[in-house]
Structure 1
Amino acid sequence: MKQFGGPVLFLDRSDINTDEIIPAKYLTEITKEDLKPYILEDLKLPGFDPKGEKTKTARVVVSRANFGCGSSREHAPWVFEVNGITAVIAESFARIFRQNMFNCGMAAIELSADTIEGLFTYAGCADAAISIDVAGQTLTISGGGTSETHSFDISPFDKALVLAGGWVDYADSKY
């Protein structure tokens, strides 16, 4: 079974759009793997380096509200997938981006603004990591010698998609 979680990339801004996740000029690439080097290339945040070690080692992204807004395209979740990111945690998601995450077998977890604010207190910890139990609908963040666990909601169908590995694997098992 797919493991969800690992080192965290904190992106402290709302309204991160799909053009910042994967610039439109790369949408002509032939394979998902071809998208890999361009992850978050156009995202401008103080101190953020899209080619940096934190981006390369991240397995979870934590952000603010309205993540994945803008143009609707599967390429945005795909670039996360090929870079080993298994989950994005935010206050809210653009509807199509969120569903594309589930369809690709990745977790899109919505938490309250207060809970997200609490997760961001770990941003300064070099060892910040999140483990996610999709079936149990909990996540645990750890770093700097402390940890905390939070529950999250996900619809039964979306949970089934994520646990199956995405829409294609789910359909293969059901039909």
Structure 2
Amino acid sequence: MHDFAQTVSRVLTAWKFPGDRHVSFDEGAYDLRIDSKKRKDNGKGVRAVTHSAFKVALLIYCREHNLPHLGLLVLDTPLLTYRDPLRTNSPLSDDEEALKKSSLKDYFFEHLSSVSKLGQIIVVENVDLPTGIDKWANVETFTGDPANGRFGLFPRPDVRTQLASDKL
């Protein structure tokens, strides 16, 4: 597990994750410790980033050690480092504040581009993307507005299609 933890550390370093990025695996908790802190003891945003680092590191580790891996990563809102203001009134934790102030977002996407030859990486995100990302990634923006750009993942059915399916 030490070798895998070092791979996670390399990923966090490439992303310029705040701190020393010393990673170990806590066999009692079956989770990572980052800079001696249990991953679960971090704020929601930091946990999202470190969970994504774990997934990316697993792809890298498997490829480097000729171990099987599907070669597909789906990262769901890994950079959303704030809490929904409608769900909580609590402020960001110290680790979330440090992450929010860092330039991790830019390095995150740059690193994913550099390891994209190892597999297909799909990122679903709700933050503004770095300028120029379209040079290294295919970007689809879903607007939720039928009059402005692409509505969503599935095409919005028109009225005739809806009426035809209602008769089924």
TM-score normalized by the length of structure 1: 0.28
Larger gyration radius, structure 1 or structure 2: 2
Higher helix share: 2
Higher strand share: 1
